[in-house]
Structure 1
Amino acid sequence: MKPSVTEQERFKLQLDVDRTKSQEERNIHGQFSTPYVLASQIVARSLAELPLSAPVSFLEPALGSGVFYSALMQEIRDHAILEAVGVEQDEAYAKIATKLFIDKDFKVLVQDYFAFARAPGNRSRFNLLCTNPPYVRHHHIESSLKQELQILVSDNLGLKISGLSGLYMYFVLLADVLLAPDGVASWLIPSEFLYVNYGQPLRDYLSKQVTLLSIHQFDPDTVQFDDALVSSCVVTYKKTRPIGTASFTFSFGGSISHPAETRIVDLINRDSAQKWSLLHFDQEEGLLGERDTVGDFFEIRRGVATGANEFFIIDPAVIKEYSIPRKFLKPILPSPRYLTQAVIEANPDGTPKIDKVKFLLDCNLPPDVVKEQYPGLWKYLQSGKKQGLHERYLCASKEAWYFQEKRAPSLYLASYMGRSNGNGQAPIRFFLNHSQAIATNVFLHLYPKPALMSLLNENPERMKELLDLMNAIPLQEFMRVGRAYGGGLHKVEPGELKNLAFSQLPEWMKGVVEKQMVLI
């Protein structure tokens, strides 16, 4: 449906206000306006769950300039509106809605949403809620407010919220008191809650305290906001406890009305501690069959976290200046973006054949020994203390602030994160490492298990074949196991990488898992 004249004016005025704010300011406050077409789809989806006999009491708790109310005016059709309320803390955006919808009996409140939610007169007041709450990350939420909201959620719902939770989780959970019985709510929120640990309270709420109707997860390569790098989903539920054989629809990709993939997922006994993803749902249904995964063949460990890369990763000039002994140096790889080849060859001394080799300073001697026996190294360490590096979190947590985690060089490495380029290629890169270099925590180390290592040593040409096999794992498989963000950004943790499945195995790798079991 073509946007109304009012909607076109709203969008124009919204852009005018957007231009008065810096990108940093909007990031801090999580102000990313919803495209009108998407708002219309969400409103239409929500209205379909309300009987025509029920007059609509509408709430838009993160109003912005009123895009969801604008969509409601277009989609309402045969439903009657009893009341409509929008809550917005930013007066500049609220004024747009006040100006444009003054004759529509739309009440715009320039007010803090959480104060609105606590007002006794608003309990069970609304039967339709559609919004895109601010995506404010946890470190931008004042600790006093965070603690206050955590107590409110605990008192209202008996749920314990992690301090890592973004503001949107509080918006969703504290809206429970505002919804009338059988009321319908739809939220456009970051999809991270589907798989991160701190998303469990929201998954718990959706699976046990309301009847979840649907979740549509957008393809992270298709960002829903032009200026926000966050992968989104739309969650729709009804304010009633799930009963009987309740289930919900989980869809992915495409649009809400025409998704690329769809699953009907059992809601009863849903484990909120598990990720909610196509992979896990398909595993539950036995749709994946036997899968050969990376974890069947490799031990996986994260790269070294130094706490101060700029100090502990040094070049030959620093080594020479401070006369740092070779035994305290380990060659270390640069960021994946500086590795142009998937195969890392080695020099005779074990260093990688790359430009500008650097080294990790790795000394595990106590300070008094270093001071007495290695004055150059001691001088360098003292220069780090003058910078306050010993007080940084990771450094301060070590027995001696300059000690490093222990990592052996691994034959294979994987990048911890990467961006897909839109052509279907996987975002995570694998490397074959013939050198003695280790890596920082932007990599994951892959150590072949003994049975696999034996086969690779029998025929070294298999090493490159295995590398190509891993780099051929399709994007969709990473989507199933890893974490997807906006703009095509993907991350994979060690525990997730082990679940990554090979598309197929060469004959020489078949039976390796069984051999490995014999070795154990």
Structure 2
Amino acid sequence: MIITCKDSSFRLRYYFYEEILKELYGLIIMAKRDEVLDRKKLVYQLYKILNITQDDTDNTEFNTFFDSKILNKIDFKRRKSKGQFVTPSILANFMAKWVLLNQKPKKILDPAIGTGILIKEILKSIKKENGQNKFRIYGFDRDNLMILITKINLFENKGHLDLINEDFFENNLEEKFDIIIANPPYIKSNKIERLSLYHQVVSNSVGVDLDKFTGLYALFLVYCVTLLKKRGKLAFIIPSEFLNANYGVKVKDILLKNIRIEALIYFDTKDFVFNDVMSSCLIVLIDNSDFSPEHNIKFIKTTTINNLDDIFNVVTDNSYIKDGKLKQNIANLIYSEYKVKQLNPAKKWISLFSNKRKNYGELEHFIPLGFYYKVIRGIATGANNFFTLSESEINRWKIPERYLLPIITKARDISPPIFTWHDYNQLKNDDKKVYLLSIEEEIGNASVKRYLDTGIEQEIDKRYLTRNRRIWYFMEHREVAPVLIKVFNRGKIQFILNDTACLNLTSFHGIYPNDKRFMRFNKALISFFLSEYGEDTVRLQLRHYGGGLKKLEPSDVEKILIPDFTEFSNADLTRLDQCFEQYTELSREGSQERTLKFIDEINHIFGNLFEHYSFFEETM
């Protein structure tokens, strides 16, 4: 079959397609890297791999279509390992439009250019606005495949473009830029090969020793701030994680002291902004104009990416704002603003994306949960599927009871707010994994030895956690936690009373009273978190990810503000216990309407206790 292409630029780009195909050939069809392919075979394989037809090549949007075909064919694990997640075009357009507003840039930088979509939008906007051609764009990427795709995307503008296939942090840039725009790679700190070098480069550039856990995307942001010209503009799209993370304290401090943040736009959406990545999304807009502690930073939260025109107007036109609030409500958008001098980098900032917040922090009678409780992560086995067993597996391997402990393995196995022996036995009857293999001595049982031998055959003993133990199958020790909290949640954060002797894996954190006397408060504690007040105090500590997913680390849970239950009367504590028990019973019966009665009563009890404090005062 002969396929022609009406787009003559396709022929001009042929060399780059050929180079990309060589990359794809190795990545997708696993051909030997030294295999010699003639030109006809390359073209044929190109169409075959990408499933391109005559209709596709005739399409005026072929270039965009072709890019998406390539990216869909690149192995996801490879892209994830490099932190490559393509910016949706609607967000790229928004960012490009904002950085170019009232600007005539001479030098533009994208430190992690990827497929070039951000620069593509910059070029479209420049051409549309004034057609100026006296500018230069510098794009960095370590991945040769990304550089090749960008050459294709920006072929007509190659005269304006310097693409550098090098590590951005190792380039020792001395010049400054009018515009910096980026979607930097998002890779977990423990997956980055040269992390210590990057930390050193960025820490030296700002004169601050950054936290060793600082995310790569945050290092890009901090470093690029030092490369921005006076009155230059920067737009980054990054995870919102640093706003609430401990390592984010120094990052926020640097931003507040060294640059003028125009707006932070937080996408609190149940849908993933980026396909295949579970991280909530934040756009950072910086205008390096005159710095002032009186400057108002705009905090904007939206639950959709489809109202960017409204957001652009709010960011760029102060006529939409009056007395720190929107003049008129905008659907799916919450606006608040804070002066630089009001912001504390040591605080968690996610809670600032709200126009109504209750001032819990100033209450004398609220204390951190960690005052009465210690929060510890669940047991990390290193191989859950091997170290946890079901009833049928126990019987098949004939493992004695003395080597087993009851365990809660998965968050979905529990229906809050209580876990009982009845629930455990139901899981056991359903043949769920409810036993933990617990060996604290030399093995004298032949059945257990045989089972462990299968673990060696599967190389379980060579995994990271197991190989770092004194004996690979020895499990870490935990006491039974009387209260559990699910690590990841969608919707309301779930606290559970553990009315069994079951241990828990890492899908839960265990909450342990610091003193046995505080066991008396367990039901009151969970009742508080069922109330609207508990929801508010938890929200201040949450870490947000994409798709509406929320997470709490043990240190976050210990910082949650709770009432000082030692000041409650016995009558109030008893009534809270009764409400909890009645709520639990009715929720298990599926009587939702009747359970609301007890939630209302719990709210009423806490409301009466707090009404004479400054509990309901709203802060800016």
TM superposition score normalised by structure 2:
0.64
Pick aligned residue for 2:340 from 267, 286, 292: 267
Residue 482 of structure 1, CA deviation = 1.4
Who is 1:93 aligned against?
149
Residue 85 of structure 1, CA deviation = 0.5
Who is 2:277 aligned against?
228
Instruction: Please tell me the residue identity of whatever aligns with 1:152.
Output: V
Note closer, same or farther for the CA distance 1:115–1:208 as it changes in structure 2 (3 Å cut).
closer
CA–CA separation in structure 2 for the residues paired with 1:376 and 1:82: 77
CA–CA separation in structure 1 for the residues paired with 2:487 and 2:557: 9
Who is 1:336 aligned against?
411
Residue 430 of structure 1, CA deviation = 3.7
Who is 1:73 aligned against?
124
* Secondary structure of 1:45's aligned partner: helix
Gaps of 5+ in 2: 1-58, 315-331, 563-598, 611-620
Who is 2:172 aligned against?
118
Q: Deviations over 1:240-271 (max 9, x none)?
A: 78444344222222444367223323434855
Instruction: Please tell me the residue identity of whatever aligns with 1:91.
Output: I
Q: Deviations over 1:399-447 (max 9, x none)?
A: 65544444343444222113x3xxxx43x43434332222111012345
Where in structure 2 are the equivalents of 1:361-372 lying within 5 Å? 361-365=437-441, 367=442, 371=444
* Structure (1 or 2) with the greater helix fraction: 2
Who is 2:426 aligned against?
353
Is the CA contact 1:218–1:233 (under 8 Å) kept in the aligned structure 2? yes
Who is 2:224 aligned against?
175
Who is 1:202 aligned against?
251
* Secondary structure of 2:184's aligned partner: coil
Is the CA contact 1:231–1:484 (under 8 Å) kept in the aligned structure 2? yes
CA–CA separation in structure 1 for the residues paired with 2:84 and 2:196: 23
Instruction: Please tell me the residue identity of whatever aligns with 2:148.
Output: A
Who is 2:486 aligned against?
415
CA–CA separation in structure 1 for the residues paired with 2:66 and 2:487: 41
Instruction: Please tell me the residue identity of whatever aligns with 2:487.
Output: Y
Residue 189 of structure 1, CA deviation = 1.1
Matched, 1:435 2:500: yes
Is the CA contact 1:214–1:237 (under 8 Å) kept in the aligned structure 2? yes
Note closer, same or farther for the CA distance 1:398–1:99 as it changes in structure 2 (3 Å cut).
closer
Is the CA contact 2:89–2:117 (under 8 Å) kept in the aligned structure 1? no
Is the CA contact 2:225–2:259 (under 8 Å) kept in the aligned structure 1? no
Residue 302 of structure 1, CA deviation = 2.3
Instruction: Please tell me the residue identity of whatever aligns with 1:362.
Output: S
Where in structure 2 are the equivalents of 1:74-473 lying within 5 Å? 74=125, 77=129, 82-89=134-141, 90-101=146-157, 106-112=160-166, 114=168, 117-120=171-174, 123-124=175-176, 126-141=177-192, 143=193, 145-161=194-210, 164-239=213-288, 242-254=291-303, 255=308, 256-257=311-312, 260-268=333-341, 271-278=344-351, 286=359, 290=363, 295=369, 299-316=374-391, 319=394, 325-339=400-414, 343-347=418-422, 352-354=425-427, 355-356=430-431, 358-365=434-441, 367=442, 371=444, 384=455, 389=460, 392-395=463-466, 401-418=472-489, 420=490, 425-426=491-492, 428-447=493-512, 453-454=519-520, 466=526, 470=530
CA–CA separation in structure 2 for the residues paired with 1:245 and 1:468: 38
Q: Deviations over 1:21-73 (max 9, x none)?
A: 2322322233322222222222333344x5x6x65533333332344442453
Q: Deviations over 1:267-305 (max 9, x none)?
A: 348554443322699999947775968938865332222
Residue 154 of structure 1, CA deviation = 3.0
CA–CA separation in structure 2 for the residues paired with 1:302 and 1:511: 34
CA–CA separation in structure 1 for the residues paired with 2:267 and 2:237: 10
Matched, 1:40 2:93: yes
Note closer, same or farther for the CA distance 1:411–1:113 as it changes in structure 2 (3 Å cut).
closer
CA–CA separation in structure 1 for the residues paired with 2:512 and 2:191: 39
Identify which range, 182-191 or 442-451, moves more after superposition.
442-451
Residue 194 of structure 1, CA deviation = 1.7
Who is 2:65 aligned against?
12
Instruction: Please tell me the residue identity of whatever aligns with 2:107.
Output: S
Q: Deviations over 1:373-422 (max 9, x none)?
A: x666566557656766555544455565544444343444222113x3xx
* Secondary structure of 1:118's aligned partner: coil
CA–CA separation in structure 2 for the residues paired with 1:487 and 1:134: 19
Is the CA contact 1:135–1:167 (under 8 Å) kept in the aligned structure 2? yes
Note closer, same or farther for the CA distance 1:414–1:150 as it changes in structure 2 (3 Å cut).
closer
Note closer, same or farther for the CA distance 1:399–1:283 as it changes in structure 2 (3 Å cut).
farther
State the identity as a percent: 22
CA–CA separation in structure 1 for the residues paired with 2:211 and 2:342: 23
CA–CA separation in structure 2 for the residues paired with 1:283 and 1:402: 51
CA–CA separation in structure 2 for the residues paired with 1:278 and 1:7: 45
CA–CA separation in structure 2 for the residues paired with 1:411 and 1:115: 48
Is the CA contact 2:260–2:289 (under 8 Å) kept in the aligned structure 1? yes
* Secondary structure of 2:199's aligned partner: helix
Identify which range, 395-404 or 149-158, moves more after superposition.
395-404
State the superposition RMSD in angstroms. Answer: 4.3
CA–CA separation in structure 1 for the residues paired with 2:356 and 2:470: 43
Residue 329 of structure 1, CA deviation = 2.8
Note closer, same or farther for the CA distance 1:7–1:152 as it changes in structure 2 (3 Å cut).
farther
TM superposition score normalised by structure 1:
0.75
Is the CA contact 1:60–1:129 (under 8 Å) kept in the aligned structure 2? yes
Who is 1:483 aligned against?
543
Residue 335 of structure 1, CA deviation = 0.6
Who is 1:516 aligned against?
none
Structure label with greater radius of gyration: 2
CA–CA separation in structure 2 for the residues paired with 1:454 and 1:146: 47
Identify which range, 213-222 or 496-505, moves more after superposition.
496-505
Instruction: Please tell me the residue identity of whatever aligns with 1:149.
Output: Y
* Secondary structure of 1:205's aligned partner: helix
* Secondary structure of 2:96's aligned partner: helix
Note closer, same or farther for the CA distance 1:337–1:21 as it changes in structure 2 (3 Å cut).
same
Gaps of 5+ in 1: 1-5, 457-461, 514-520
Residue 338 of structure 1, CA deviation = 3.4
Residue 213 of structure 1, CA deviation = 2.3
Is the CA contact 1:430–1:467 (under 8 Å) kept in the aligned structure 2? no
Who is 1:3 aligned against?
none
Is the CA contact 2:410–2:507 (under 8 Å) kept in the aligned structure 1? yes
Residue 7 of structure 1, CA deviation = 10
* Secondary structure of 1:226's aligned partner: coil
CA–CA separation in structure 1 for the residues paired with 2:124 and 2:374: 56
Instruction: Please tell me the residue identity of whatever aligns with 2:218.
Output: M
Q: Deviations over 1:66-118 (max 9, x none)?
A: 4444245337747966414141542332223332435xx53242532517852
Instruction: Please tell me the residue identity of whatever aligns with 1:360.
Output: L
